[in-house]
Every structure is written in structure tokens, then in C-alpha cells.
Structure 1
Amino acid sequence: MCPHSAQVREVYAGSTGPERRLLLRPLTGAEARTGTPRGPVVCAPEAKLPPADTTVPAGGSTSAELTVTNPCDTPLRDVTAAFGLAEGWTATPGTLDLGDLAADRTATVRTELARGEGTPNGPRPAAAEVRATSTGGARVNGSASAELDGTPPSPHGEVSVSTLDFLTADNGWGPVERDRGNGEAAPGDGKALTIDGTTYERGLGTHADSTVEVFLGGNCSTFTATTGLDDEVGADGSVVFKVYADGERVYRGGTAHGSDAAVPVEARIEGARKLRLRVTDGGDGNAHDHADWAAATVRCGTGGTG
């Protein structure tokens, strides 16, 4: 067990009377050998960085509150904070001077985290490094982090899902195809989307198990599609089509077989930030599960968050 230098602290805890807290720090090698600690317990700041919104379109921004707490029984002096962001992202202000922070006190400051135009979509980390001077002049630090999501712009009007950027595109065979049926391993090698003899110009060609997720930004109300096994597999295959709005399932079809007619789908997605389309195997293996989201469309407002 590592030897420690201990400092007992008594604080008032209301009707239950005082409580004691124990602060520990590891002893240095010299302190452990001599049995004599050379200095007091050094205590570091604690920090949190919750953003108001984790999704940020290109050119957009979100505010975040940096909360710095002094858990020590002595003041922290010269408390400062600096933000670290992904390339193309900025914080305003980027550095903060919080001054001195008394024992058991908290300071909260707001900053604006902005995403530059032309920056890539996807998760991006944000971090705040907090530094201070503790007992005996020791420099100490704490940190806080948040995960931001660089999103595409929200769709406006009536939009084919095949024209939207994919946040996720996982497929049981080859890539998810835009405006084609599922093909082989290369993108764009599928045939025309065809269900029960009808060919569709727009839609997604997938293969179970499949997940496609797109960003809506809370600007859309309805998702529609015509679903079924692509005619390429004949009477074979069986799948289940599912629709999710922000992780909540809003549609689940019955088990569709290759010999079945196309099934129209309409799902309410009012206010959803993300739309997820799932296709799962119907229970007989996925060898023939070419599943089409034909004419997949979202109907959205003329305004939006992106």
C-alpha cells in the first residue's frame, strides 16, 4: 500500500453536526524512507464543461458553462482556464482568468464554442484545462471535457433521404447504395431499385443487418417510404423494417419476404434530431436480404437549425 500524507478537515454539515473529510497525497520516496512528510496536502481544482447543445452545424455554435470548484480547505490562487478544441473550432473567450477561489467555492463562466465553415462532420472533443496555485505555492491543475457532434445542415422542404449525408451507414453486404439496389462490394454497383415489378428512381438499397442514420435537426415532421425485398432476390429472403426518431422506435413492419408486395411506410418524426432506418434479418439468415427503402423521403419545414 502506498504511504500517504493525510490532512483531516472538519466542516459543518447542518443538523447532523460536523463531518470530517480526509485529504491524501502519496509520499515521495524520501518522505517514505524518513517517515517525515515535508509539506502539506496539495489539492487541485475540479471542473465540468456541459454544452447547451452537443450538435453543431458548420458555421454554427453552442454555449458551454465551465464550472470550477475548489474542494480544498485553503484557497486556490490565480485560477486560470484555457480551452482546447479540434481544428477549425474556436472558443470565445479562449482563455479565462478566474482569480482566487476560496475553499469550497465554485465559479461558473460561459464560453461560446463555434464550428468553422468547411470543417468535417462527426464527433469532436472539447476540453478545458484549469490551472491554479495551491498550498505552499504548488501549481496544480484539473480538466473538463465534452463531446461535440459536427452535424450536416438540417434538411428543408421535401427531401430524398438518399441525398442526405449519412451519420451512420452499416450494411450486411457491401455498402449502402444511394438510388440503387444493394449490389456487391463496390459502391454504385447495384441495379435499379425494384420491388414487386415497380422500379423506383430514389431510395436506399441495403442488406440486413443494416443501419442508416441521417441528421434532421428537429426540422422535419414525416418520413415516408415504400419497403420490400428487391426483385433481384426473387422469392427468397426475409427482413423487418424499422424506423427510429432520436432512438425511439416509431415504426416496425411485419416480416417481409421476397414474394411479398411492397409495403408503404409513414412515420411521424416531429422534432427529431436524428432519423435511423434499421433492417434486421427475418429469422432465416441474411443470405438473400437485399432490402429497399424505395422513395425514402422526409418532409421538413422551410427553416431549421442548419
Structure 2
Amino acid sequence: MRHFSSSATRTSRHRVIGALTAALLCAAGATVPAAAHSPATPAPPAGAPAGSGLALTPPMGFNNWNSTHCRAEFNESMVKGIADIFVEKGLKEAGYEYVNLDDCWAKTQRNADGKLEADPVRFPNGIKAVADYVHSKGLKLGIYTSAGTRTCDSVGIPGALGHEFSDAQQFADWGVDYLKYDNCNNLGVDAKERYTTMRDALAATGRPIVYSICEWGENKPWEWAAELGNLWRTTGDINDSWNSMLSIMKQNLPLAAAAGPGHWNDPDMLEVGNGGMTDTEYRTHFSMWSVMAAPLLIGADLRKATPETFDILSNHEVIAVDQDPLGKQGTVLSSDGGRWVVAKEMQDGSRAVALFNETGSAQRISTTATEAGLPEATAYSVRDLWTHTTTNTAGGLSATVPAHGTVLLRVAADKHWAAYPPAVELALDGSALVEAGRTAKLTTRVTDLGRTPATKVSAALTGPAGWQVRADSATTAAALATGRTLATRWQVTAPAGTATGTYDLTLTTRYRAPSGKQVRSSVPFQAHVVVAPPAGGGYLSDLPRLSASNGYGPVEKDTSNGESAAGDGKPLTIGGQVFTKGLGAHASSSVEYYAGGACSTVTASVGVDDETGAKGSVAFEIWSDGTKAASTGVLTNDMAAQSVSADVSGAQVVRLVVTDGGDGVDYDHADWGDLRITC
């Protein structure tokens, strides 16, 4: 798999490889396409992909791995329970159809006839009985094995290498509809060769079986796997964290040209509902996987899922973006400063547009309907796929997006646009940075983006209990024409003694559409309660962070990045030089600090940490508010620490960025040694 850490051993399921590493929707909702083929689909011709005619839209279903791994709770009862929940909770109706078994379903030895057998404790009635039960619910069963001598678990379950034709026939006899084919213990056999053999074995069974190639993107399967299977992993394993999800998303986004009906980029399964991210982050996860036309394989144990998890997973309008029959993967229009715009062409001519905020603070993100690929028009209809509201716009598509959030729109050049109220944008100038006990001045803006006017417009800003929020200018406007703004100045005071951290402010507007309909819209902002840096400055690692994101594991204080767990780093060491203070990061990384306009310079000694061995290449940047103040060239492991210094005079926020040097993120452990700020 791809190595994001400093050693060949990772806290993931592949730890055993050792020496073998390798338009608009209508307001009422959307219709999800039916399954492409039934089990009666004829076998593909010789040499065709095993799943020809299958997976014409990205597969949707469940896989147990992310929630259970090989624990005892993965068993026949769980699998049947998931099938029941698919039906009872409406997930089947929403389009989910595959109930997939991952590793550890089998015994550790083949039988006397060389065949695989189900673990009798986990699956006492065998796999066929499970398949029959799943089929009785109108669903399909998936199974797992590896293109090696053993699978990826640590027990030693047999893989399919050398047994491809007999195993494939056994799966077909059991009634399997989907095969996930992993990459462990492959003896160095050429990837295309071993995945071709299983392609041919599946085709020879005569049963339509969706073929999922899981070789972690090691050999660029997007360049060759469409001839073999229906989907291919583009990355290493996901885990239930913001940093993991973000890193995988960034690796998968550039591969849009490879995806299409019957052959999909697979950035791994969903973590929605497993508990390691917020619901805002899970909505981003689900939104971006849908815009990327990725398979939607639920990884949470649905027997324990919250109502919020079911709400996310069963959003028909977002699912319809993923399942659009045109089969286009979304492409990146812009990503400046962590403000992403990704657009996906839809079969009906509309565009799905994701406004995604990577950063730790609310951000204004904007584009236009024409930039998203729509023709020039008088006005457009805009459907917000999470709030389920429809408005009209003169062409602008803008929103203030919460930290780690995504606004997902479906935009169309719709002749009925005038039936909808005008879209308004709610925005906050800059970041809400508040020192406890002191009054901060903020400005909010309500802007009419619509072709029609908004009338009787009002704005209200509310904060946490005990905070004082007072308007310092007008909070109402009789009317706003297209492009006009109601700007309101506010005085915001957090009580003395308020702890540093993030707190919610909410901006709400009410207005009337030309039809007379009253509209209410609101957006949350994160206010940061901050502490001014000490006179004279000091080590940045000793100051509280406004936000931090990291490509692998957390940003570490005064140690290297280490592995994925917090606190597992080592002394910061670059070219043999040890630094007692600083930050250990991993590309791609961004860390923000409050400077309060009182500081002048940031200095550091930077480079790739020695813990990576002979690997890793990164570049460092220091930003002063929204301006890049200093940067290095690409630094590699064989280079000594490099000095970097930036003028940050007057900056409210200092941001430290590490990029991957342009060659991907393998072993990109980046040290900010002796990191100081002068104030």
C-alpha cells in the first residue's frame, strides 16, 4: 500500500505484508436508478471484464471492515441484521443493494479438496445460507479474498493466488454477486497479471459478479484496470478521521478522467457514523464521495447507528448525484487556500457543485454557473441538497461554508427559475477572533444573488449564552436588488475568563420573495476565543492553535509526526540535527496561530525528519493572513535543515503550510524546528 508513515508497519489491515509490500432535482426529491442487471445476466465474452454490463452506476451497499475488522461481532447474525436494516430503514429503497463480507469470514485452512470453508463459529450455516437470506430481501451478497497466498489479516486465512478458478466457481456456486480482491502476500506477481487471472476466473463462472480491484493504487490501476474490473482502489486504507478522509479525497480527485459507467475510481469505503468525525465532516465525506462518483459502501455498524447517520446515508438527493447515469466524476475548478469548488456534469444537463471548506474556520467560497459548465442564461435554479431548498440566482454561486463543511448544490438553466425565491448569501468579513473580556468588531453581509429582488430583509446575529452581541449599524433593508448587500457592523464580547477554543455564532436573515413567500436562512460561524501572543513572542508550539490539519496523524508538539496516533513522535531531527522545540507535521498540513496584529517575524529551521529513512519530499510555506510571506523549494530527506523567515507584520493570523513537493505524500514527515514568533 502507499506509505504515509515512517515505517513499513502501519496501524492498518495491511500490516502483514512485510517484505512483500506492494437540473436540478425537483423539490420533492430524486429517483435513484435501479440495479443495472439481475442475476440472469449472461456471461461476458472471453477477454471482457468480469463484470461487463454491471456497476453502470457506482456500487452502493455495506462492508463490515471499518466497524468490526476481524472482531467476533462480525458474524452471520450481523450480516443478516444489516440486510434487515437495509429494508426496514429505507436504505434498499435509496439504492443500497450489496451486503459485503470482508476479511476473516473463512477458516485458516482449505479443506481436503482445496476449497475454502466458512469459519464455523462466525458462519455456522455457511456462506450460501447467508447469500440466500440476503437474496430473499432483494439484496446481493459480496465476499472478500486476496490476490496472494494469504489475505491481509494476521491469522493466515488462505488467499486466492493459484486457486483463482476454483475459488471463483465456489463463490458463484454460493450465489456471490460481488468480489473485493485485495493485495496482500502477492509474492511479487505483476499486479495486472494477477488481477487479470481473477477477471478470467470470474468470467468463466457464467455468473455476473461485480469485480472490485483492491490494490491500493500502487500500480496506477486507473490506467489499466477498466479492462479487468468494475472499480479499483486509488488509495491506501481510509480510517475514521478527518485527516485520513481529506488525504484520500485529494488523491482521488485528479483521476476523474478514468471513471465512467462500469468502471469507477474507488477512494475506499465510507466512515460515516463510526464516531471519529463530526456530522459536518461526515456530510462532507458523503458529499464529496458522491461528487466523485465513488462507490458508496457503508462502513458503520448500522445496528448502532444514530438517526443523524441514517439521515446522511439516506439523502436521496445526494445519492442521485453519485448515481447519475452519465457517470462523470466531478472535477476541481479551484482549491485556493483550502476553498474547494468541484463540479460534476449530470445527465440532464445540470451541474452538481460542491463548495467544500478544508480549513478550520468558516470561509466564503464562490463560483458561477458558467464556470461550473452551464450555458449563459438569464437566471438559474439552485437546489441545496442538504437543506432541500430551491432558489434562483443570476449566476453567482456563493456561500459561507462552516469549517470542514460542504455546501452541495444542483444548478440548472431552468426556465421555471422565477417560481423560486432569490438566493441570498450570508457572509462574515474575515474571521471571528475574540479575546475574552474585550469587544471585537465584526461585519456581516446579506447579499441578494437572485435575479429577483429580496424585500423586507433583516439580519440577526446570535452567540453563546452569556456573550454580548450588539448591532452597530442597520439590521434591515426595505429591498435588495440583484447583487446588493445589507452590511451590518456588530460588537461581540465574550465574558472575561472564557476559555480559548471555538464557539458558534449564527447569522440569520429573513426576507420576502416576489411571490410574497417569507424565507428564512441561517449559517453558523465559528468564533475563536484567542489569547494575544506574549510580548516579545516565543515558541509557536507553546501557543494555542486556531486550527490544524495534517496528512497523517495529528500535528505533534515538539516531536516528529511519528505514526498515526497522538504523542507517538520522536525528537525532531533533520540531517542529524535535533531540535527540542517545534512542530512535527505530515504533508499536506496547515496550522494556524493568532498573532493579533502585534507580531513581526516567524522563523524556523525546516526539513524532512530523519525517521523517514531515505524517503520524503516536502515544501514549506508561511502565510500572513491571506498572503504567502515565505516559502522554501522542495526539500528531501538527504538535505540539512533549511532556515526560513517571514515578515508577518500586522497579521491577525499566521498559517504554516506543508505541501507534498509535487510527488505525492509518501513518507512526507515535515519538521518545523526551532519555530519562533517575534512580537
The TM-score normalised by the length of structure 2 is: 0.31
Distance 2:460 2:545 in 1: 33
Match of 2:501 among 107, 114, 121: 121
Identical-pair percentage: 37
Change (3 A) 1:258 1:114: same
Partner AA of 2:556 in structure 1: E
Which residue of 172, 178, 185 maps to 2:551?
172
Match for 2:643 among 264, 268, 274?
A: 264
Q: Secondary structure at the match of 2:541?
A: helix
Q: Decide which of 455, 460, 464 is 1:86's aligned counterpart.
A: 464
Q: CA deviation at 1:259?
A: 0.6
Encode CA deviations 1:213-243: one digit per residue, 9 max, x unaligned: 1111111100000011111123321111111
**CA 1:59/1:288 → structure 2, altered by over 3 Å: closer, same or farther?**
same
Alignment map for 1:147-296 (pairs within 5 Å): 147=525, 149-156=527-534, 157-296=536-675
- Check conservation: 1:49, 1:128, Cα contact below 8 A: no
Which protein has the bigger strand share? 1
| Alpha-carbon distance between aligned partners in 2 of 1:149 and 1:208, rounded to the nearest angstrom | 27
1:245, distance to aligned residue in structure 2 (A) = 0.9
Q: Residues 281, 146 of structure 1: CA spacing in aligned structure 2 closer, same or farther, 3 A cutoff? A: closer
Gaps of 5+ in 1: 1-45, 132-139, 301-306
1:61 Cα deviation after fit: 1.9
Distance 1:276 1:55 in 2: 15
1:57 aligned residue (424, 435, 439):
435
CA 1:184–1:64: 2 relative to 1, 3 Å: closer
Larger Rg: 1
CA distance in 2, matches of 1:284, 1:146: 37
Q: Could you state the TM-score of these two structures normalised by the residue count of structure 1?
A: 0.64
Q: Deviations over 1:169-220 (max 9, x none)?
A: 1112211110001111221111101111111110001111111111111111
8 Å CA contact 1:52–1:62 kept in 2: the answer is no
Q: 1:87 to 1:254 in 2, by over 3 A?
A: same
Contact 2:553 2:563 in 1 (8 A): yes
Select the structure with the greater relative contact order (CA < 8 A; seq sep ≥ 6): 1
CA distance in 1, matches of 2:550, 2:509: 40
Instruction: Return the letter of the residue paired with 1:121.
Output: G
Change in CA separation of 1:81 and 1:158 when aligned onto 2, cut-off 3 Å? closer
Alignment CA distance shift 1:61-1:49 (3 Å): farther
SS at match of 2:622: strand
Shift of 1:144: 7.7
Q: Hey, what's the Cα distance between the residues in 2 that align with 1:49 and 1:103?
A: 19
CA contact (8 A) 1:49 1:146 kept: no
Q: Is the 8 A contact 2:602 2:646 kept in 1?
A: yes
Change (3 A) 1:50 1:223: closer
Give 2:491's match in structure 1, choosing from 87, 109, 112: 112
Q: Distance in 1 between matches of 2:621 and 2:533?
A: 21
Q: Which runs of 4+ in 1 moved over 4 A?
A: 48-53, 63-68, 80-83, 101-104, 107-111, 128-131, 140-146
Amino acid at match of 2:498: G
> Where is the helix percentage greater, Structure 1 or Structure 2?
2
Aligned counterparts of 1:162 and 1:242: Cα–Cα separation in 2 = 16
C-alpha separation between the residues in 1 aligned to 2:658 and 2:550?
9
In 2, distance between residues paired with 1:93 and 1:217? Answer: 23
Distance 1:238 1:108, change over 3 A: closer
2:619, 2:631 within 8 Å by CA — same for their partners in 1? Answer: yes
Partners of 2:647 and 2:659 in 1: CA distance: 21
Structure 1 residue 51 displacement after superposition:
7.5
Cα pair 2:548 2:591 within 8 Å, conserved: yes
Confirm or deny: 8 A CA contact 2:459 2:507 kept in the other structure: no
**Unaligned runs of at least 5 residues, structure 2:** 1-423, 447-453, 480-485, 512-517
Computed over aligned residues only, the root mean square deviation of the Cα atoms, in angstroms, reads: 4.2
Secondary structure (helix, strand or coil) at the match of 1:232 reads: helix
Distance 1:297 1:223 in 2: 6
Superposed displacement of residue 268, structure 1: 0.6
Q: Deviation at 1:252?
A: 1.6
C-alpha distance in structure 1 between counterparts of 2:533 and 2:613, whole Å: 35
Distance 1:65 1:49 in 2: 9
Structure 1 CA distance, aligned partners of 2:427 and 2:676?
A: 37
TM-superposed deviation, 1:265: 0.8
Other-structure match for 1:41: none
Asked whether the equivalents of residues 167 and 213 of structure 1 are also in contact (C-alpha less than 8 Å), the reply is: yes
Residue by residue, what CA displacement relative to the aligned partner does 1:113-135 show, whole Å, maximum 9, x if unpaired?
2112325522522446779xxxx
* Alpha-carbon displacement from aligned partner over 1:38-73 (angstroms, at most 9, x marks no partner): xxxxxxxx9x997798321222223467999xx87x
How far off its partner does 1:290 sit? 1.1
Residues 62/298 of structure 1: CA separation in 2 closer, same or farther (3 Å cut): same
Distance in 2, Cα, partners of 1:289 & 1:124: 34
Deviation of the 1:82 alpha carbon: 7.0
How far off is 1:287 after superposition? Answer: 2.1
110 and 248 in structure 1: CA distance in 2 versus 1, 3 angstrom threshold: closer
SS in 2 for 1:220: coil
Amino acid corresponding to residue 263 of structure 1 in structure 2 = Q
Helix, strand or coil for the counterpart of 2:600?
A: strand
